[in-house]
Amino acid sequence: MKLVILDRDGVINQDSDAFVKSPEEWIALPGSMHAIARLTQADWTVVVATNQSGLARGLFDMAALNAIHAKLHHEVAQAGGQVDAIFLCPHGPDDGCSCRKPLPGMYYDIARRYDIDLAGVPALGDSLRDLQAASTAGCDPWLALTGNGQKTQAKGELPPGTQVCDDLAAFADMLLKDA
């Protein structure tokens, strides 16, 4: 199985300091739907791993989050692709869970769900916590320069072996070139 793990906000869609709280606020980044479609069509299983502390903060409820994800699934399908699953951490920063990135719990859940060793699985994020969680779980961390990616790159301290790409489309290009 060829598996790829993507962060959501800042990688697939526009990020917001005020949180993405409704389907209307969820806006796909240019090229991201087509990039997911190209990966799907090349037999990659695309999975999303996303922190959603807005749930714990009371900024939106599960129905709103499900509506946001329904929009994501619909737009990806319209482009000819598929997101196989969305894993999320609903906890706040101080809740002490093991699934909130930078901890690797979500990635371990993905490994169990797909019965796969994550060694070498490409994982794309735009923040240091995405890269740290991916690296700790054994994935190959990739930094997208969209969302918070440029700030993350400028701060440095990226996990060893982190590769950098402009956006999700460039990431897909790299994976498909190597296939």
Neighbours of 9 (CB within 10 A): 21
Is 126 annotated as a binding-site member?
Answer: yes
Query: Does this model's pTM top 0.95?
Result: yes
SS3 per-residue string spanning 48-104: EEEECCCCCCCCCCHHHHHHHHHHHHHHHHHCCCCCCEEEEECCCCCCCCCCCCCCC
| Domain boundaries of the chain, sorted by first residue | 6-121
Tell me whether residue 167 is one of the annotated catalytic residues.
no
Q: Note the pLDDT of residue 179.
A: 61
* CATH class held by domain 6-121: alpha beta
Please indicate if the annotation marks 130 as binding a ligand: no
Residues 6 or more apart whose Cβ sits within 8 Å of residue 14 = 20, 27, 28, 29, 147
Q: Is 94 a catalytic residue?
A: no
- Is 165 annotated as ligand-binding? no
Band of the pLDDT at 34, cuts 50, 70, 90? Answer: very high
